[in-house]
Amino acid sequence: MRLLVGLGNPGARYARTRHNIGFMAVDEIVRRHGFGPWRARFQGKCAEGTVAGEKILALKPETWMNHSGRAVGEAVRFFKIEPAQVIVLHDEIDLAAGKIRFKIGGGNAGHNGLRDIDAHIGRDYARVRLGVGHPGVADDVHDHVLDEFSKADMAWVTPLVAAVAEAFPLLAGDDGARFLTRVALILNPPPPKPPHPRATDDDAPKDT
């Protein structure tokens, strides 16, 4: 089993904020891959499904962002899941808006949700970092991540979330590199090859 965690804050007030892009991505994965209904469990909302032959438990903690580790830790202990089987999707201000990165382990870069997860299960879990951009001034970060995406923002948020969901089977299959490649190709498909010129009667071989 893999534990798929989206980070965010509960409630309609925060549903479209930058801090909640992890929730948005997990919602789309659950919808696209036909998971079961959301149920209250592990201090959050859970839905179960199977992707690429792997049983997946999707979890959206409702403990508020700064205490995300409570929900994650509870699920990990209940199912006896190793941290390596946990995938966390979260917002990343140190990435340009619309960019995506994948890594296993490492620091939390000041992200309070990751910091709390580290405290409960350690650092050896996978992270999908979804870029939401930096406001440019450190004092503005708090308001920036709690601001709603604008209509213009949704022009890149919606395709990014959809691409993550479409490519998720590769991530479920433990292939982070191919997952990133697939997302990139979905978002920026190569231009179509020009058609081959059609043969004409003038091109046909002639008898000599």
Neighbour order of strands in the sheet with 86-92: 39-41, 44-51, 54-61, 2-6, 86-92, 126-131, 100-104
The reported pTM is: 0.91
How far, rounded to the nearest angstrom, does the alpha carbon of residue 105 sit from its chain's CA centroid?
16
Q: How confident is the model at residue 140 (pLDDT cuts 50, 70, 90)?
A: very high
How far, rounded to the nearest angstrom, does the alpha carbon of residue 28 sit from its chain's CA centroid?
9
Find the DSSP H helices in 94-150: 112-121, 141-146
Please report, for the chain, the start and end positions of each structural domain, with discontinuous segments joined by +.
2-190
Query: Could you give the percent of the chain with pLDDT greater than 90?
Result: 90
> Averaged over 108-114, what is the pLDDT?
93
Strands (E), 52-188: 54-61, 86-92, 100-104, 126-131
- What pLDDT score was predicted for residue 196? 76
Which positions are catalytic?
19
* Calpha distance 150→136 (Å, rounded): 18
pLDDT at 207 over 70: no
Bridge partners, residue 49, by sequence: 56
- What pLDDT score was predicted for residue 187? 97
- What pLDDT score was predicted for residue 30? 98
- What pLDDT score was predicted for residue 208? 53
- What pLDDT score was predicted for residue 60? 98
Q: Kindly report the CATH class assigned to 2-190.
A: alpha beta
Q: How does pLDDT run across 154-177, given as a tens digit for each residue?
A: 999 999 999 999 999 999 999 999
